[in-house]
Each structure stands twice: as structure tokens, then as C-alpha cells.
Structure 1
Amino acid sequence: MASTVTSGAAKRPGYGRLLRTPGVWAFLLPGFAARQPFAMLTIGIVLLVEHTTGSYGSAGAVAAVTGVSMALAAPWSGRLADRFGQRAVLVPGVLAHTASVSLLTTLALAGAPLWALLAAAVPSGASVPQIGPMVRARWAARLEGSPLTSTAAAFESVTDEFTFVVGPVLATALCTGVHPAAGLVAEASLTLVGGLLFAARKRTQPAHGPHRGAAGRPRASVLSVPGVRVLGAAFLGIGSVFGGMQVSLTAFTEQIGEPGANGLLYGLFAAGNMLAGVAVGAIAWKCGPRRRLMAGYAALTATASLLWAAQTVPLLGALGLVTGVCIAPALIGGYTLVESLVPASARTEALTWLTGAVALGQAAAVTAAGRLADAYGPAAGFLVPLGGTALALVTLVAFRSRLAPPAPGSRTTGRGMGHRVPAAVD
């Protein structure tokens, strides 16, 4: 996540100094393993269910239910972690997720009816551990008041992008090269091992307790902040790109008889996202995150408008790479803004709302793209990222004033949601 613009932006501490912070590797390494499920789960479900049912529509529906369940449960997970501590939420969640994905895999291989797969998808999605927001919250607690805080935000966004390089490629390789269920087996295993190791790092978890706002009143949900609602709507568009690309690339490579190329194509898309994330975090920007957010969505919409016309692997790979590059400024700009709109005590919940919005957009996209691919071919599926990003861009333009931080001392509602005011955000 890129830093906010200040007069000293050019002197911002770098990644090397950040990673030498004592104690951070204790949660970074297990956190990296445990956050893979978010990137592996959808594509693993699509590949397995399509293999057992022969329908991208059915595969997309199961993946969509998983995504919707995650989107609805994620903010509650973040809120509970803020109140009771991350370990108290993670341990039962990790065990439940491993069991749920194992059940879903078994049912798919046994040829169970669609309704049974949809039922098993609900707990599989609802129990996905929210490792990314939890790691961000640990960074914030560790570096409170330090100039390294914004560098840590950028590093986390790069890690997210790298996850979307490794996860889908690994899941695709396992499903196509080992066994159709191997991707989900690996996803469940990483969740179990990485999640329990991350939860065991109790010394680095942030402080927790009852939520309080101004004057000691119980704090309202972060959705009472208008800017958070706008960002949540915008992040649905990012989810539509991830979901639409996963299904449409899979359908495209199946159509041309090269299913193994799916991992390469999605890897190029995710690699563009990661490399752009590194650049966004390293550049001393002269414009604020709100402008970068708007510019990123405009570029993303323009690039997505070309995907449906690509008919060859090299052309689709090149367009996928550019599309990935355009995601990073939008994603990082949004995460930067949300931290300026809510207080530190609500950080985990706010971040999980954005993560949940991505999952919800991804869920809707895999359903829509799957049905379009079944009915009209892979090219039609690529219209989903275009539609999602265009709607998100319109939303941002219409409500851009709500992304500005409030004046010092102001509150969003009368129920106690206070705010921190950062440096320039425009």
C-alpha cells in the first residue's frame, strides 16, 4: 500500500529496513502460507467441480456460494478478532475450514448433486481465515507512530499480489498435473499448518478489547463511514476481475486444447499485479491515494475492454499482464484510504470488509462468467471484468467526495465512530 503524500515522501524508509524490524518474521512466514487459501480456493473449486460435472456454470455457482459466504463472514471475523484477539478466532476457524473443504472435495469426487456441493460451500467460504487483514493489524501495532508504517502497508500489498501469483498457478498445476482434487487438498493443508502456526505467535498479535468510540460509547460498525461503503463498492470491481479472469482463462485454454496454459496465463496476470505493487510501494508519489485509485480504475476499465477480443495465447497473456499492472494502483490506493477513514481500533474489521467485497465481487463474477462461457464461449466471459470495473469507476466518480478524510475532531455518526486525519489523500 503506497504511503500518503508528505513533504518527506522521498525519504521514506525502504523495504530492507522494514524487514529488519525485530520479531516480524515470526508472523510473516506462517502468515504467507496461511493466506494462500484466498488465492487458491476459487480456482481449485472451479477446476474440480467442472471436472466432475462438466459444467462451468455449476462450477461457478459453487465457487460463488463460497465467495458470498466468505464476504458475509469476513467482517464478523475481523470484528471478533479486534475484540477477543486473533488467536481466539483463528484456531476454531482454521479447523472448521479444513474440515469443510475436505467435505466439499469428497462430495465432488463422489458425484454428489449440485445442492449438496452448494451446501458444503457455505462453511468452506465462511471459515476462510482472514490472515491478510490480521497481518496488517500486527504491522500497525508493531510500528505505531513509526515512519515505517506506510512502508509496511506497501509491503503487504505486494505480498497479496505475490499470493495471487503463487496460489492460482500452484492450484492449477496440481489440479491439471496431479489430480483434479489436489488443488483443494493443498489449500486445506496450507490453511491448517500455516493458520495454526500464525495463531501460535501470540506475542505479536495486537491488543484487543471491547470496541469503544467517542466518549466511551460502543463503537458502530465501520460501514457507518461513507467512504468505507464507497470503497467496498469499488472493490467489488476488483473481485470481478479476479473471478472473471479465472473462469474465462480456464474456459479459453480448454477450448483451444491447452488446459496447462491456464496457469501460465493467470500467472502473467498476477505477475503484472505484483510487479506494479512493488513499484507503487517504492515510488515517492506526488499525488495522493485518491487520485491513484481513480486513475487505476480508469486504466483497468480501458484494458478490460480489450480482453474479449483476444483469440491467441500470446495476445491474451499480454493483455492479462497489463490488466494486472492496472489493478495494483487501484487496490493499494483503496487500502491506503481506508486506513485514513477509520480509527486504529477498527482496522481489522475495516480491512476485512474490503477483503470481503473482493470475495463477493469474485463470487458474482465466477457465476456470471461461467454461465456466459457455457452459453456463448470464453470470449463472453471476459465481458464480466469489463462490466464490474466500469460500474466501480462510475461509483468512484459519483461519490469521490466521500473518500476525503473528515475535519479534525469530527465524527461520521452520532454513535461514536471517530477518525484519524492523515496527510494529503487527494
Structure 2
Amino acid sequence: MEKVTYADVLRSPGTIPLYIAAFLARIPMMAVPLVLTLLVVEGLDRSYGEAGIVAAAETLGAGLGAPWRGRLIDRLGVRRALIPSIAVLLVVYPLAAMATYAWLLPLAFVAGLFLAPVHSIVRVSLSTNLPASHHRSAFALDSVMAEASFIIGPAAAGVMVVQASPQAALLTVAGTVGIGLLILWWLDPPTRSADHVDTPHQPGFGWVTRDLAFLFLVSAGAMVALMATDLGIIAVLRELDAIGLVGVVYLGWGFSSLVGGLVYGSRSASIRPTYLLLAMGLLTIPVGVAHAPWTLALASIPAGLLCAPIMTSCSEYIARLTDETRRGEAMGWQASAFTVGGALGAPVIGSSIDLWGAAAGFAVGGGIAVLIAVASFLGQRLPRAGDAGSSHLWNRVTASTPPDR
């Protein structure tokens, strides 16, 4: 098999502008939860609990909106799918900056519901514009850039809140997102390959095979493991009275994900998402035994190395298991799976920390990820009457991947 490099991906027409536009849109989008929290706490002088409710409203809207936003990409293309998001961005965020707490709740929900489907747009366009042999490297590069956005966005927003105000930060975030979306609208990346032949539209969820459903479950499990590390790091540093070092530990964790994504994308063979989730869960469980900030930073690196790879692997297999006419919706459901995993995992992990200490957060979150990985691994292999189509498609996917996965 010919080895595909990142240079091969970047040389493909339209790829670099697509990455740049997505990067510009994602940096402020990653900052939205932090800015909303500070807007409630600092701008409206309310509690962190009330800020959590606003964040939950935005998360609920995003989870509900991602699949149908992805479906619009499949049916209408990028430009027409982005118009509602741009319109809501120009109206809702300025209103949110002036709103009372009672009005901020529905505005946050609407903002989430119409959140621009950047993840779906990028993955769909890459999967249709590039040959299948390039998908691993292309998705890995996108995951790495998303991780970089996660590192830069909240930090920049935090500085802006301190230097100006939460309201100014929210308006700046909205304006920056708008610039990225307008660039995407102008680029209008393709969502169909040149040789694709449209098939009759299949209503409902008949296109969701068993293996695809398990991939969504694995995606949710990955977010549970990430949430365990996210909350666990804060809890450990609070126990050690070293919360001021949270940025340093997060930087090491995020950087390890960048390295892991680049290494995975340069491989010539895929690794099944279930295997990666199993490894991530097992490596997350013992992180909480760290009893010093520097050991915590080091202990989070092994699991961090798998963050970007598992996101890449899930997208790679979803792209292979779905027809182009449904790929945007599939990527939207994956985004919803991430949201659901984080939304359900956070209270369970947080309660575990409250009851048994910071180490329990890592153990519980990692343990849930392990259980999901094992259940998915076994479920994909159980024979089931009437599932021949899914099995045939899965065999085709695995047959196209070298046996060293």
C-alpha cells in the first residue's frame, strides 16, 4: 500500500483553505462555554450553578441540532446549510450580551440549536474531495487543528474577559465565528465526489447499521473518558491546593493529543475505535493516583496521546460505512454522541469526585469507557438475523485495512 503523507493531503486542491476556515471558526466556538459561564457569573452576578444551567441549555440545543444541521448539508450543500447559522449568530449573540438571566436561557438553547456544523462540513468535504487512502491523514490533521483550537480559544477568551468584559468577549467571539463561517460559505467546499451517482433517498433511520450505531456509542464513550480527565485534573489540583497550575497540566494534556493525532495520521493502517477506547479507558483509570502537579501532568500524557486518534478513527470508519448522501447527517449524529457522552458523563464523574475524591473521577470515567469498548467489541461480532447488509459492509471496511490493526 502506498504511504500517504500530510503533504499529499495539503497538496489536494481546496484543502488548505478549508482547514484555515475551520480553524478560524473553531477557535471562538471552543471559547463559547467559558464566555457564557463568565457572562453569568461576572456579568450578571449569578452563581456557578446557574451558569451550569445556561451551559446545559446550549449543550442540549447543540445535541439536538447537529443531526439535522448535517442533514441540511447532505440535501442543500454547504452554503444554504450555513445561512441559518450565520443569521442566528448575528441576532442571538448580540441579544445574549444584553439579556437578563431569564432570557439568556432560551437564547443559549437557540444558539446551540443553530450552531454551525463545522465538524460535519470539514469531515464530509474531506471524505468526498480526497480518495479513501487519504482519509486517515486528513481526518487526523483536522483533529489536531481542533485540539489546537481547544487550547487557544478558551485561553484567549479568558484574557479578553479580564481585559474588557464578558459582553465584549461574547460579541468578539460571535464576530470571529462569523468570519470563519463566511469564509466557509465563500469556499463552498464540495459535499459530493465528482463520480458519485445519487441513490434514492432512504427515509427514517434505515441507513443506520448496527456497526454504525456502535461507532456512535464509542464516540460517546470517548467523551466520557475525556470528561473524566478534564474534571479529574481540576479536582486533583484543588486537593493539592495548586489550581493555579491547571493551565500547565492542560497544556501538556492537549499537546500529547496533538502528537498522538499526528502519529496516528501518518500510519499506513487503521486502528479500530473500540481498541483505542479500551486503551484510553484503561490508561485513564490510574491517573488519579498522582500526588503532585508534575506527576499528574505526566500521568495524563498516555491517555492524552489517544484523544485525537480516537476522534480520527471514529470519523474514518463512519465515512466508510455511510453513503455520501447521508455522510453529513452521520457526522452530525457523531457530534451529538460527543455531546451526549459529555452531558451524561459529567454529573456521574462529578458525583464520584464529591463522594470519593478526585481519583474516583478518573476511575469511574475510565471504567465506563472500558465497559462501552468491551460491549461494542462484543456487539459488533454477535450474529443477528436480517443484519447481513451491515455485516457485508463491515467486512468490506475491514478488508480494505491492513491486518495489523
Q: Secondary structure at the match of 2:12?
A: coil
Q: Secondary structure at the match of 2:116?
A: coil
TM-score, with normalisation over the residues of structure 1?
Answer: 0.78
Match of 1:396 among 350, 373, 376: 376
CA contact (8 A) 1:40 1:168 kept: yes
**CA–CA distance in structure 1, aligned partners of residues 235 and 164 of structure 2:** 20
**CA–CA distance in structure 2, aligned partners of residues 317 and 181 of structure 1:** 33
CA contact (8 A) 2:288 2:296 kept: no
| Match of residue 229 from structure 1 | 213
**Superposition map of 1:16-27 within 5 A:** 16-27=7-18
Match of 1:125 among 112, 129, 133: 112
Aligned length: 396
Q: Structure 2 counterpart of 1:92, which letter?
A: P
Match of 1:308 among 288, 296, 299: 288
**CA–CA distance in structure 2, aligned partners of residues 29 and 247 of structure 1:** 30
Displacement of 1:173: 4.3
Q: Are 2:118 and 1:136 aligned? A: no
Using the TM superposition, name which of 46-55 and 64-73 deviates more: 46-55
Q: Structure 1 counterpart of 2:124, which letter?
A: A
Q: Secondary structure at the match of 1:40?
A: helix
**CA–CA distance in structure 2, aligned partners of residues 340 and 402 of structure 1:** 21
**Superposition map of 1:174-193 within 5 A:** 174-175=160-161, 179=165, 184-193=170-179
| Match of residue 282 from structure 1 | 266
Q: Structure 1 counterpart of 2:122, which letter?
A: V
Q: Mark the runs of 5 or more structure 2 residues left unpaired by the alignment.
A: none
**CA-atom RMSD in angstroms:** 3.7
CA contact (8 A) 2:275 2:373 kept: no
1:125-176 CA-partner distances (Å, limit 9, x unpaired): 1122111221122223323x47434432332232233333333433444446
**CA–CA distance in structure 2, aligned partners of residues 254 and 62 of structure 1:** 24
Displacement of 1:269: 1.8
Displacement of 1:36: 2.9
| Match of residue 3 from structure 1 | none
Q: Structure 2 counterpart of 1:152, which letter?
A: A
| Match of residue 205 from structure 1 | 190
CA contact (8 A) 2:144 2:261 kept: yes
| Match of residue 153 from structure 1 | 139
Match of 1:164 among 128, 133, 150: 150
| Match of residue 41 from structure 1 | 32
| Match of residue 54 from structure 2 | 62
Specify whether residues 72 and 222 from structure 1 end up closer, same or farther in structure 2 by C-alpha distance, changes over 3 A only: farther
| Match of residue 239 from structure 1 | 223
Displacement of 1:224: 2.5
Identity of aligned residues (%): 23
CA contact (8 A) 1:64 1:364 kept: no
Q: Secondary structure at the match of 1:401?
A: coil
CA contact (8 A) 1:68 1:125 kept: yes
Q: Secondary structure at the match of 2:381?
A: helix
**CA–CA distance in structure 1, aligned partners of residues 36 and 140 of structure 2:** 30
Specify whether residues 378 and 146 from structure 1 end up closer, same or farther in structure 2 by C-alpha distance, changes over 3 A only: closer
Q: Structure 2 counterpart of 1:132, which letter?
A: H
Q: Secondary structure at the match of 2:305?
A: helix
Specify whether residues 102 and 85 from structure 1 end up closer, same or farther in structure 2 by C-alpha distance, changes over 3 A only: same
Displacement of 1:74: 0.3
**CA–CA distance in structure 1, aligned partners of residues 93 and 287 of structure 2:** 32
Match of 1:345 among 302, 325, 336: 325
Using the TM superposition, name which of 189-198 and 116-125 deviates more: 116-125
Displacement of 1:88: 0.8
Q: Are 2:73 and 1:91 aligned? A: no
Q: Secondary structure at the match of 2:300?
A: helix
Q: Secondary structure at the match of 1:289?
A: coil
| Match of residue 5 from structure 1 | none
| Match of residue 421 from structure 1 | 396
**CA–CA distance in structure 2, aligned partners of residues 101 and 400 of structure 1:** 43
**CA–CA distance in structure 2, aligned partners of residues 369 and 183 of structure 1:** 30
Displacement of 1:195: 0.8
Match of 1:12 among 3, 7, 12: 3
Specify whether residues 53 and 190 from structure 1 end up closer, same or farther in structure 2 by C-alpha distance, changes over 3 A only: same
Specify whether residues 96 and 362 from structure 1 end up closer, same or farther in structure 2 by C-alpha distance, changes over 3 A only: same
Specify whether residues 122 and 133 from structure 1 end up closer, same or farther in structure 2 by C-alpha distance, changes over 3 A only: same
Displacement of 1:84: 0.9
Match of 1:79 among 55, 71, 75: 71
**CA–CA distance in structure 2, aligned partners of residues 175 and 207 of structure 1:** 41
**CA–CA distance in structure 1, aligned partners of residues 24 and 155 of structure 2:** 15
**CA–CA distance in structure 2, aligned partners of residues 331 and 70 of structure 1:** 18
Using the TM superposition, name which of 34-43 and 169-178 deviates more: 169-178
